[in-house]
Amino acid sequence: MDSVVSFAGWMPAGLQNAAETGTSVRAVIFEDDIAIWRGQDGLARAWQNRCPHRGMRLSYGIVRENRLTCLYHGWTYDGTGGCAHIPAHPDLVPPKSIRAKAYGCVETGGMIWVARSESSEPPPQISGTWMPCRTMQVNRSLTGLAEVLGTGKANLALAMGAWAGQLRVAGLQGAVLLAVQPMGARGAMLHACVTGPEDLTRASDWIESLRGHLERPIAA
């Protein structure tokens, strides 16, 4: 589907409430499989979704305090990705070379953003206070999204260029912050935030109808 299989800068990876304190969840960006988890310190971390030991998804991991423990053999990583404990060798101090591969991870605009560690692009800063509304998976590749959006639905095509943008939607008090997270063959995630609770239900209805529009067959 999408020819792009990797990404260079900061990408939306979910709404802030997707990763609640003490949980680890899965996110896919293009071909990258990522575990996002939040410790008791409230900080969200994004790591390659693969335990360095046996490749188990770290999104199945167990969060205790500010450490993530792999579900498979209990290898435990501190908040920076360094291996802190290996249960089968309780007296061993794990070598510093055993590390979960970390992505850059920031939160702004009510959303979690990630970038590859080698990226030098500064993290996004979205002004204003934004409240998480809905995340929706849409069965449409990025190319297909651009094609549909290009046919003139609001100013979405413009917003898409930077993965997120503000929109005015009829019937809402405030604006909607809409972000697109491409997932290759899985289509994309659409994330929407609003400026206040009074807009939650209407914005949710709007993004449902937007998805319906995006998933309609493209005429040949």
Question: Rounded to 5 degrees, what are φ and ψ at 217?
Answer: -55, 140
Report the residue number, 38 or 116, with the smaller CB distance to other proteins. Answer: 38
As measured in angstroms, the least distance from the Cβ of 154 to other proteins is 21
| Min separation Cβ 2 and other proteins, Å | 17
Specify whether the CB–CB gap between 5 and 38 falls below 8 A: no
User: Amino acid identity of 187?
Assistant: G
**Of the candidates 110, 112, 98, the residue with the CA atom closest to the CA atom of residue 34:** 112
Nearer to other proteins, 164 or 199 (CB): 199
Task: Pick between residue 145 and residue 189 the one whose CB is nearest to other proteins.
Answer: 189
Please give the residue ranges that form the binding site for other proteins (CB under 8 A): 14-15, 17-18, 20, 22-28, 59-60, 62-64, 71, 134-135, 137, 186, 189, 197, 200-201, 204, 208
Burial 67-81 (b: 16+ CB within 10 A, else e): bbbbeeeebbbbbeb
The nearest distance, CB 193 to other proteins, in angstroms, is 13
Dist. CA 174–CA 171, nearest whole Å: 9
What order of strands is seen across the sheet that includes strand 164-167?
131-138, 188-194, 176-182, 164-167
d(CA 175, CA 93): 51
Report the nearest approach of other proteins to the CB of residue 78 (Å): 18
Instruction: Quote the least distance from Cβ 192 to other proteins, whole Å.
Output: 11
**45 versus 134: smaller Cβ distance to other proteins:** 134
For other proteins, the closer of residues 126 and 190 by Cβ is 190
